[in-house]
Structure 1
Amino acid sequence: MAIRAVPADVTAFLLDIEGTTTPITFVKEVLFPYIEKNVKDYLRAHWNTAECQEDVKELRLQAEEDSKSGHAVHILSSPREEGPLEQTMQNVVDNVLWQMSLDRKTTALKQLQGHMWRTAYASGQLQGEIYSDVAPAIRKWREAGNRVYIYSSGSVEAQKLLFRYSTEGNLLELFDGHFDTQTGQKVESESYRKIAQVIGCSVNNILFLTDVTKEAKAAEEAGVNVMVVVRPGNIELTEEERAHYAQISSFSELALSAYGS
């Protein structure tokens, strides 16, 4: 097992989820298919709730923005233009499935998904899958005085559900905070500067762990320390990427001076 020393200035760990703490297969083969299969039934059951109506409102606003930007989008009619309820709900379903087919990361989509997953986790239909090396490593980092945060395209609520109802038990107490696309897109350098400002440290005090090199590049450009996580099923790195980025295949490969290398 190769050991990677954590840079001496690091006092905060920032973690991606998909492909980093959680297998890509869980997201692609469990979480997303659950949405695709159940979105229509969920809308029927929750349509009259304030939360669901807020979700639909956000999806409608996103559709309007997409249309203005020239996207060939499934338009959601305004409340005044809505026809029969069943057709209105089907329009929402079509928009959600269209966004998912393009793997979009819009806040409106992630918000609805998070609310659907909450229902599924609470009822026992879903359980978050976490790599077995994750929790033990985080506990060591925290014991050494470091803080640990999550930064994912999934909504903060969806993040908390995954770690609360995980295969390793309730892990929420291990994290000092959560960030999602409301902070900014993960491929934009400014997002990482904002995170540093929010948690009250310099960018060079952060170590970002992700499997996505576009995210790693953005964080690096902001001055954040970066390591790329290589897990089974993750996108294979190019020769150039392997030469440029430090890599780990398990959190257990990270060594802090507090507990040796």
Structure 2
Amino acid sequence: MTNHTPPKAILLDIEGTTSSISFVADELFPYARKHLAAFVEANPEVVAPILAQVPGDDPVATLFQWIDEDRKETPLKTLQGLIWAQGYADGELKGHVYPDTPEALRRWTEAGIKVNIYSSGSIAAQKLIFGHSVAGDLTPFLSSYFDTTTGPKRDSDSYTKIIDALDLAPSELLFVSDMVAEVDAAHEAGLQALLIDRAGGAADVHSLAEVLP
């Protein structure tokens, strides 16, 4: 893949881009659900302020209901992050990354291109995936992290905020995602953007090896 204007920085999505979509759905979420009740019982002081934000007489039951409904509630996300952190620390969890991901991170970093992450998962969860990945600690290759506290990933204003935070011109940042709506929003904000499809479908690239090789 060739750019007429080489970017100074790259912005990467996680699910479907650097990592398997199924990792979050099939490993992280079930792990948090399985350990939620025991974690709450074993860490009363830690979870007390989190549970205080959960409505109802039985906050744990409400949390399970939110999981079943795939709700994006902050107390649930916070608690899931704590459970995952324990799982990573215990070695029970390893963050999935595709084999070309660490190779690409090293290649870009060595070329002086700063690599940043923008995902719907919290910044804390992002750091856990890359800090405890199947390829080892990849966080030394990452400069900045952004999540939905910056704004929705399908909103062009979110990418404008990221540009400002990184102190770049729009054309100096290249965004890579597997979601057409996100790529369109990045284009609207003036970024360079590529659609990736690891299954080989219609897209700009099919692996990170094709991005600024």
TM-score, normalised with respect to structure 2: 0.91
Task: Give the aligned partner of residue 209 of structure 2.
Answer: 252
Task: Give the aligned partner of residue 113 of structure 1.
Answer: 80
Task: Give the aligned partner of residue 181 of structure 1.
Answer: 148
Is structure 2 residue 193 aligned with structure 1 residue 206? Answer: no
Query: Cα–Cα, structure 1 residues 109 and 35, in superposed 2: closer, same or farther, change >3 Å?
Result: same
Query: Cα–Cα, structure 1 residues 194 and 248, in superposed 2: closer, same or farther, change >3 Å?
Result: same
Query: Cα–Cα, structure 1 residues 197 and 165, in superposed 2: closer, same or farther, change >3 Å?
Result: same
Task: Give the aligned partner of residue 19 of structure 1.
Answer: 16
Larger Rg over CA atoms: 1
Is structure 2 residue 27 aligned with structure 1 residue 30? Answer: yes
Query: Cα–Cα, structure 1 residues 181 and 55, in superposed 2: closer, same or farther, change >3 Å?
Result: farther
Q: CA deviation at 1:104?
A: 3.8
Task: Give the aligned partner of residue 38 of structure 2.
Answer: 41
Runs of 4+ in 1 over 6 A off after TM superposition: none
Query: Cα–Cα, structure 1 residues 96 and 204, in superposed 2: closer, same or farther, change >3 Å?
Result: farther
Q: CA deviation at 1:7?
A: 4.7
Q: Distance in 2 between matches of 1:96 and 1:130?
A: 29
Q: CA deviation at 1:174?
A: 0.4
Q: CA deviation at 1:107?
A: 3.9
Which residue identity does 2:141 align to in structure 1? L
CA contact (8 A) 1:12 1:147 kept: yes
Q: Distance in 1 between matches of 2:95 and 2:103?
A: 17
TM-score, normalised with respect to structure 1: 0.75
Which residue identity does 1:15 align to in structure 2? L
Task: Give the aligned partner of residue 56 of structure 1.
Answer: 51
SS across alignment from 1:21 = coil
Q: CA deviation at 1:36?
A: 1.8
Q: Distance in 2 between matches of 1:136 and 1:122?
A: 24
Q: Alignment length, in residue pairs? A: 213
Which residue identity does 1:28 align to in structure 2? A
What stretches of structure 1 of length at least 5 have no aligned partner? 61-75, 83-87, 257-261
Task: Give the aligned partner of residue 7 of structure 2.
Answer: 10
CA-to-partner distance for each residue in 1:175-226, whole Å, 9 max, x for gaps?
Answer: 0011111111212211111111111112221111111122222222212211
Q: CA deviation at 1:96?
A: 3.1
Residue 194 of structure 2, aligned match among 227, 251, 261: 227
Q: Distance in 1 between matches of 2:49 and 2:152?
A: 22
Query: Cα–Cα, structure 1 residues 53 and 183, in superposed 2: closer, same or farther, change >3 Å?
Result: farther
